[in-house]
C-alpha cells in the first residue's frame, strides 16, 4: 500500500452523511412539511440505519477448505491470516479489506520455455541458455512447483511488477521475483558443474541445489512462497553442436549398458560357482568322513583279530585261512589237507567247516 503524494488534493470521503441528509431533505421536503420536523428526522435515521445494515452485510465472507484470509483495517494488515473455515465477518470497504486466496494449491512456473493448453512448447532461449562450469553452453528447461506459505507476506512484502504472459498480476512475488530468482539459482548451480553433470550424471543434485538456493532467496525477501520441487525438463546442448554431444551420450549409454551386462553376468556366475565349490567341499568332507570311518573300522577289526590270535593262534590262523579261501573260491566245496592237522577238513559250499571221516586219505 502506498500513501498519496503530498502535492495531491485530499481524497473525498466515499460516505458523506451531510450530503446524503441534504439530498433526503430535498426529496422529502414536501413530505416533511406535512409530517413535521420530528417525523422527518426519524425517517432519515431509519434510512441511515438501513444503509448501515446493508453496508455491514457486505462484510460477510466465507473461507473454503484450503483458503486463508488476509485482513486489513484502514490499509494496515491485522494479525496473522485467518485459517478457520466457514462464514466470518470483517469490516467492508472503505474501512476494511480482505483478501481470500487458496494457499494449498500447487502452482507451476516454467523457465526456459512456455507451454499452452494444446501442449505446444515455445522455447525461450534468453532464459534457457547458460554456461556450465567447464565453459560449455547448455540449454536447460526447468519447471518450478510452489505454493503460498504465508498469505500476508505473499500479498504485501514484495512489490513485484507481475508477469502478464503467465497471468501473474503486479504485487505478487511469483511474478518476476520468482522467475528471476529461479533463473539466478539455476545459473549459479549450473555454473559450478561440468556439462556432463548437468546432462547425464548429476541431474538430481542440480535440482536439489537449485531448489535450496531458490528457497533461500525467497526466504530472504520474506515472499511467503514455499518451493515444493524443481524439475529439469529438457537439458541439451545447443543446436550447433548437438550431434556431437548426442554421439558422446550414445557412447556413454553403450558403456553403461556393457557395464550393466557385465555386472549381471557377474551376479549370475559367481553364486553358481560358489554353490559348485560348496558342493565339492561337502562331497570331499563326506568322502573324508567315510574313509576315516572305514579305516577306523578296519583298525578295530584288526585289533579284534589280533586279540583272538594272541589267545589261540592256531584256531585264529586256521579261521583266517578258511575265510581267505572262501573269498577266493566262494560257493564251492573244498577239501583241505593240512599236514599239521588230523583229520582232514572239508569246507562246505556255505563256507562251514566239516571234519572229514577218519580213515585213509583219499
Residue 20 has pLDDT above 60, yes or no: no
For residue 343, cis peptide bond before it (omega within 30 degrees of 0)? yes
- Please check whether residue 65 lies inside any domain of the structure: yes
pLDDT of residue 120: 85
Residue 208 has pLDDT above 90, yes or no: yes
Mean per-residue pLDDT, 103-115: 93
CATH number of 170's domain: 3.30.479.30
Helical spans, DSSP H, in the chain: 17-27, 29-35, 37-57, 125-128, 151-156, 176-190, 195-196, 203-221, 242-311, 313-328
Check whether residue 89 and residue 119 sit in a common domain.
no
Mean pLDDT for the chain overall: 81
- Please check whether residue 147 lies inside any domain of the structure: yes
pLDDT of residue 247: 77
Check whether residue 150 and residue 228 sit in a common domain.
yes
Residue 229 has pLDDT above 80, yes or no: yes
Q: Lowest-confidence range among 122-136, 139-153, 214-228?
A: 122-136
Check whether residue 116 and residue 228 sit in a common domain.
yes
Task: Write out the three cell numbers for 345.
Answer: 577238513
Check whether residue 46 and residue 161 sit in a common domain.
no
pLDDT of residue 354: 55
pLDDT of residue 62: 92
pLDDT of residue 5: 40
Check whether residue 56 and residue 134 sit in a common domain.
no
Q: What percent of the chain has pLDDT over 90?
A: 45
**Cβ atoms 111, 186 nearer than 8 A:** yes
Domain of 332 in residue numbering reads as 326-355
Residue 7 has pLDDT above 50, yes or no: no
If one compares 68 and 358, the residue with the highest pLDDT of the two is 68
User: For residue 164, what pLDDT band results from cuts at 50, 70 and 90?
Assistant: confident
Rounded Cα distance, 226 and 172, in Å:
14
If one compares 26 and 228, the residue with the highest pLDDT of the two is 228
Mean per-residue pLDDT, 290-307: 86
Q: Which of 26-35, 205-214, 320-329 has the highest mean pLDDT?
A: 205-214
Residue 35 has pLDDT above 70, yes or no: no
Q: Which of 180, 187, 178, 223 is nearest to 206 (CA)?
A: 187
- Please check whether residue 256 lies inside any domain of the structure: no
If one compares 199 and 19, the residue with the highest pLDDT of the two is 199
Check whether residue 67 and residue 178 sit in a common domain.
no
Among 76, 98, 120, residue at a domain's last position:
98
Our count of domains for the chain comes to 3
The residue assigned the cell 556393457 is 258
How does pLDDT run across 116-128, given as a tens digit for each residue? 888 888 889 899 9
User: What are 100's strand-pairing partners?
Assistant: 69
Residue 13 has pLDDT above 50, yes or no: no
Residue 188 has pLDDT above 80, yes or no: yes
pLDDT of residue 38: 63
Check whether residue 80 and residue 138 sit in a common domain.
no
Among 222, 237, 252, residue at a domain's last position:
237
- 231 CB-near residues (< 8 Å, 6+ apart): 142, 143, 145, 207
Mean per-residue pLDDT, 75-82: 91
Residue 327 has pLDDT above 70, yes or no: yes
Among 209, 237, 265, residue at a domain's last position:
237
Amino acid at each position: 500500500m502506498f500513501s498519496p503524494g503530498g502535492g495531491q488534493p485530499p481524497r473525498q470521503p466515499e460516505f458523506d452523511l451531510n450530503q446524503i441528509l441534504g439530498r433526503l431533505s430535498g426529496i422529502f421536503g414536501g413530505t416533511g412539511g406535512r409530517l413535521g420536523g420530528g417525523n422527518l428526522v426519524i425517517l432519515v435515521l431509519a434510512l441511515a440505519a438501513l444503509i448501515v445494515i446493508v453496508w455491514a452485510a457486505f462484510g460477510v465472507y466465507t473461507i473454503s477448505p484450503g483458503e486463508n484470509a488476509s485482513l486489513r483495517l484502514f490499509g494496515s494488515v491485522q494479525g496473522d491470516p485467518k485459517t478457520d473455515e466457514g462464514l466470518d465477518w470483517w469490516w467492508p470497504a472503505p474501512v476494511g479489506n480482505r483478501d481470500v486466496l487458496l494457499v494449498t494449491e500447487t502452482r507451476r512456473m516454467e523457465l526456459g520455455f512456455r507451454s499452452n493448453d494444446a501442449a505446444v512448447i515455445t522455447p525461450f532461449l534468453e532464459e534457457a541458455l547458460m554456461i556450465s562450469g567447464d565453459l560449455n553452453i547448455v540449454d536447460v528447461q526447468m519447471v518450478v512447483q510452489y505454493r503460498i506459505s504465508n498469505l500476508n507476506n505473499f500479498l504485501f512484502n514484495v512489490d513485484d511488477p507481475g508477469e502478464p504472459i503467465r497471468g501473474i498480476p503486479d504485487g505478487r512475488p511469483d511474478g518476476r521475483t520468482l522467475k528471476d530468482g529461479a533463473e539466478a539459482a539455476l545459473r549459479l548451480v549450473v555454473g559450478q558443474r561440468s556439462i556432463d553433470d548437468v546432462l547425464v550424471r548429476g541431474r538430481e543434485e542440480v535440482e536439489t541445489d537449485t531448489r535450496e538456493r531458490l528457497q533461500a532467496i525467497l526466504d530472504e525477501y520474506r515472499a511467503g512462497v514455499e518451493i515444493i520441487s524443481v524439475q529439469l525438463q529438457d537439458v541439451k546442448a545447443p543446436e550447433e553442436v548437438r550431434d556431437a554431444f548426442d554421439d558422446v551420450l550414445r557412447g556413454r549409454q553403450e558403456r553403461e549398458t556393457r557395464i550393466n551386462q557385465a555386472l549381471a553376468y557377474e551376479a549370475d556366475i559367481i553364486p553358481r560357482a560358489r554353490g559348485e565349490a560348496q558342493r565339492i567341499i561337502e562331497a570331499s568332507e563326506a568322502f573324508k568322513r567315510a574313509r576315516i570311518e572305514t579305516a577306523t573300522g578296519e583298525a578295530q577289526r584288526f585289533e579284534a583279530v589280533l586279540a583272538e590270535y594272541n589267545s589261540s593262534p592256531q584256531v585264529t590262523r586256521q579261521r583266517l585261512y578258511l575265510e581267505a579261501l572262501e573269498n577266493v573260491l566262494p560257493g564251492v566245496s573244498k577239501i583241505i589237507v593240512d599236514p599239521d592237522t588230523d583229520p582232514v577238513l572239508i569246507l562246505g559250499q556255505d563256507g562251514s567247516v566239516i571234519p572229514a571221516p577218519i580213515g585213509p586219505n583219499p
